[in-house]
Amino acid sequence: MKKKLIKTTFFLLLYSCIAKFLSFFVRIFLARRMSTEAMNYYSLAMPTMLLLITLAQMGIPSAMAKLLASSQQSNSTLKASLLFSIVNNLLLLVTVALGIPLIANLVFHKQVLIPVLYSSLWMIPLVTLSGLCKGYLMGKQQLLPYSRAQISEEVFRIVFLMLTLPLTADPVILAKLAILSMAVGELGSTAHMLLAILFKNRPTLEFLKEKPDRKVYQAILLIAFPMTMSRLIGSFSYFLEPMAMLLHVNADSQGEMIRQFTMLNSYVQPIITLPSFATIMISNWALPAFSEAFSKKDRRRMLSIFRYTCGFSLLLSTGWSLLLFFFPEFFCQLLYNQNSMAPMLKQLALPFALYGLQPVLSVLIHGSGQSPKALLDTTAGCLLRLLIMAYAPLWIGSQSIPAALALSMLLTTLMHAMHVFRVLFFDHV
* Closest C-alpha to 184, from 153, 151, 150, 163: 153
Write out the chain's pLDDT in tens, 429 residues.
456 656 766 777 788 778 888 888 898 888 888 888 888 888 888 888 888 888 888 888 877 877 777 665 677 778 788 888 889 899 999 998 988 888 777 666 678 888 988 998 999 999 999 988 888 887 777 778 888 888 999 999 999 999 999 888 899 999 999 999 999 999 999 999 988 888 876 655 555 556 666 777 777 777 777 667 767 888 888 888 888 887 877 777 788 888 888 889 888 988 898 887 777 777 766 776 787 788 788 888 888 888 888 888 899 899 999 999 999 999 998 888 888 889 999 999 999 999 988 888 888 887 787 777 888 888 899 999 999 998 988 888 888 899 999 999 999 999 999 999 998 887 655
Position 71 scores a pLDDT of 63
* Closest C-alpha to 99, from 171, 108, 241, 231: 108
AA identity, residue 43: S
Position 351 scores a pLDDT of 93
AA identity, residue 263: M
Q: CA-to-CA distance for 217 and 83, rounded, in angstroms?
A: 10
Q: CA-to-CA distance for 331 and 334, rounded, in angstroms?
A: 5
- Asked whether 415 and 360 are in contact (CB, 8 A), the reply is no
Q: What is the DSSP string of 93-142?
A: HHHHHHHHHHIIIIIS--TTHHHHHHGGGGHHHHHHHHHHHHHHHHHTT-
Sign of CA dihedral 318, 321, 323, 326: negative
- Asked whether 245 and 47 are in contact (CB, 8 A), the reply is no
Q: CA-to-CA distance for 231 and 197, rounded, in angstroms?
A: 27
pTM here is: 0.81
- Asked whether 380 and 234 are in contact (CB, 8 A), the reply is no
**CB-count exposure of residue 318 (10 Å: 0-12, 13-18, 19+):** middle
Position 372 scores a pLDDT of 79
